[in-house]
Amino acid sequence: MRGLCLNFFQAVDEIVGTRYYPKFGNNRRRSVDELLPEMANVAAVLGLGVLVIDEIQRLNEASSGGAAKMLNFFGQMVNQFSVPVVLVGTFKANTV
């Protein structure tokens, strides 16, 4: 899940030309709970209208701490972002 947060910053940097990944990604001490509010701030600053997370089936339930932890993460994300979050994946994502 931390990787998903870091991918968000990388994608924003690539599209907009900012430098959020070096600011937030180089510090290994930052937890997911610390990165989510930063992601929400970046989304607000950019005026993001919707966040689409594709390939959701590629998330590994075992490495992320289990289904309950993943569900909690996405719940936190939706609550902290002031924009809709759309999760896109194949039927394999139903088992995740």
pLDDT in tens, the chain (96 residues): 888 899 999 999 999 999 999 999 887 788 888 999 999 999 999 999 998 988 887 776 656 666 677 778 888 888 888 888 888 888 777 765
List Cβ neighbours of 50 (8 Å cut-off, separation of 6 or more).
Answer: 83, 84, 85, 86
In the structure encoding, which two tokens stand for residue 32, read together?
Answer: 């997911």
List Cβ neighbours of 6 (8 Å cut-off, separation of 6 or more).
Answer: 21, 24, 25, 35
- Annotated domain spans of the chain: 2-95
